[in-house]
Every structure is written in structure tokens, then in C-alpha cells.
Amino acid sequence: MMNNIISTIKTNQSFIILPHLKPDGDAIGSSLALAKGLEKMNKSVKIISLDEVPYDVKFLDCKDYFVDSIDMESIDIVFALDSSDVGRLEDRKEFLVKPIVNIDHHKTNTLYGELNFVQEDACATGEIIFNLLNSLEIDIDREIATDIYTAIASDTGNFMYSNTTAKTHEIAADLITKGIDVSLISMYLYQNIPLNKFKFNTEVLRQVEFYFDNRVALVTISKELKIKYDCYNTDSIVESIRNIEGVQVAVLIDERNSIAKISMRSKKDIDVSLIALDNGGGGHVNAAGFEVDAGVEAGKKIVIKELGMIYERIS
């Protein structure tokens, strides 16, 4: 499949890249690295996203890569990055009119592209882009290395999660030789929370509920609370809950109009991706999510019921 993607890149000239909606560090870093790599091949490339670049990765050099619209008549190929299904691109579906190259590392990927390169054992989509650029014999300079390192560090929890492998560290070591500033990247990713988000996080964490002998921690975030703090970024909250001693599964339910967006994180061998798949979502064993269009309380009931079934089986 890698060879097919390489051939597609070499035989076409104009590309757009679609990271998933509400992009994280992996989606942004991977998109920028691929865009800059294609540019080195004298290709035309833009990244289309309708979301603001998250605060923790704004330090990356985005130049003028990001746009919110483009004339698709001039586009040859669409790259979809870090998106397990078309629903993760739903806000830009009008751009899915040219052949799609789907590059991802989620085991729940639905293989929706004309070309699908889904590498489940990759720690991040950034790892796949690293290998692709090397296969294309593109020079990974300091700027591209910074993008890829950011992607990998973001999706591995700064090399803390179970998706971190020996290969992950080998790639990181290679990127460090390019002269990247690891301490600066880490500062922006993990030590740079805006004050309003800090206050928002603090109030949210006061509302955590516990179930199943404190093995499950759950919190809901209302629209009103987001308005109060002018904060719509829920990143890091569910991870903070998961970090509590004894908690095996953390659940965040985010109210978005009539839709409840549910994010789950787990420890060890509790597979939350099964719950996500049962409800039309996807993700990884220890990090997955789905949406419920019947509201927050309906979403909460579904999650509690599904987790109850899991604990019945393993008790």
C-alpha cells in the first residue's frame, strides 16, 4: 500500500489534506509534516480545517497552509489523516469528491478511501507520515521533525501510553538529531494552559461522579459551563480523571446542542473501543469515543449500562 501511495503522490500535482474535525496534536502535526513534505516535491497542497488550531500546537509553523475552502476543480487527491471514519470529516464532506487517500492508525478505521493505509501498530499517524516521507526520500528538516515529534508526543501522552513502542523511541531519537527543541515542544504541549481553560477544568473536575466501586469516573460538561468560561476545549480533562488511583475507566460527556460527545479512556486491558463500536464510534483499546444524538442523560445511561456489562463479565 505504501508503494501505491508513493505512486499516487508522484503522478499527481495538487493535493488537499483533511485532518479530523476538532483536530488534536497528531492530526495537526501529521497534516503539517505531510504538507511541507509534499511542498518539497514542488506539489501544490493545502490543509482544510474549519476548526481553530488548538492552543497547545499553535507554536507549530502553520504558514498559510490552513484554509477553509478551495476550488476542487484544481485538486487531484484528498488526503484524510487520523480519521477513522467519514463522520470525522462530516463538516467538510463537500471536499470528498476526489480520490481519497486514507492514512490512519485507529483499529476501528472503516477503510473509506480509494487507498487505505491503516497501520494499527503505529503509535500515531505521525509515525506513518514519518515513514512515508522517508520512503519518498524527502529531507525531514528541523521544522518537519518538530511537526512529527509533536504528533507522536501528543498521541502517546508524551511517550507514556501503551501505544509507545521501541519503534516510537527510535523515531523520536531520529527526530531529535534534526535539532528540534524537545523541552520547548513539551512546554507548549503540557505547560501552557490558558487561564480560562485552567478555571474551566477546575470546575469540571469538581463534578466528577464515581461508579462501580470507584473503578469508573464520569463527568458531564454542559453548554452553560463552556459559555461561562468561554472555553470549548475539553482536552486533557478525561486524562486527568483517568489518572486517579483506582480508576480504570474515565468518561467525559460533552454537551453539544442536542448531541452528547462521549470520550473514554481506560487502563490496561479494558477495551473501551468495543463500547464505541457498538454505538457507531471508534478509537483504540484505551482511548475511544462516540456520539449520542439524544442528549447527555441518554449518553450517560448508555455508557453506565455498557460498563456494567463489562464489569459483570470480569468480576
Burial 76-100 (b: 16+ CB within 10 A, else e): bbbbbbbbbbebbbebbeebbebeb
Give the pLDDT means over successive 10-residue stretches in the chain (315 positions).
95 98 96 98 98 95 94 97 95 97 95 97 97 98 98 95 95 98 97 96 98 97 97 94 97 93 93 93 91 93 95 83
Torsion of CA 290, 294, 300, 305, to 10 degrees: -80
Rounded Cα–Cα distance for residues 37 and 276 (Å): 34
Domains and CATH numbers, the chain: 2-190 (3.90.1640.10), 195-314 (3.10.310.30)
The per-residue pLDDT for 273 is 92
The per-residue pLDDT for 200 is 98
The per-residue pLDDT for 257 is 84
- Sheet architecture: strand order including 259-266: 209-211, 216-221, 249-256, 259-266, 287-292, 282-283
pLDDT tens readout for residues 105-131: 998 999 999 999 999 999 999 999 999
Instruction: Return the H-helix or E-strand segment holding 37.
Output: helix 25-40
The per-residue pLDDT for 284 is 87
The per-residue pLDDT for 269 is 86
**Sequence letter at residue 20:** H
N- to C-terminal Cα separation, the chain: 43
Other residues' Cβ atoms within 10 Å of the Cβ of residue 70: 13
pLDDT tens readout for residues 239-290: 999 999 999 999 999 999 889 999 999 998 899 999 999 999 988 899 999 9
Rounded Cα–Cα distance for residues 207 and 196 (Å): 17
The CA–CA distances, whole Å, from 214 to 161, 211, 217, 245, 247 equal 22, 5, 7, 9, 6
The per-residue pLDDT for 157 is 92
Instruction: Return the H-helix or E-strand segment holding 67.
Output: strand 66-67
In terms of residues, how long is the chain? Answer: 315
Rounded Cα–Cα distance for residues 251 and 79 (Å): 31
- Sheet architecture: strand order including 14-19: 66-67, 44-48, 14-19, 77-81, 100-104, 115-118
Which residue do the cell numbers 473509506 mark?
112
The per-residue pLDDT for 1 is 80
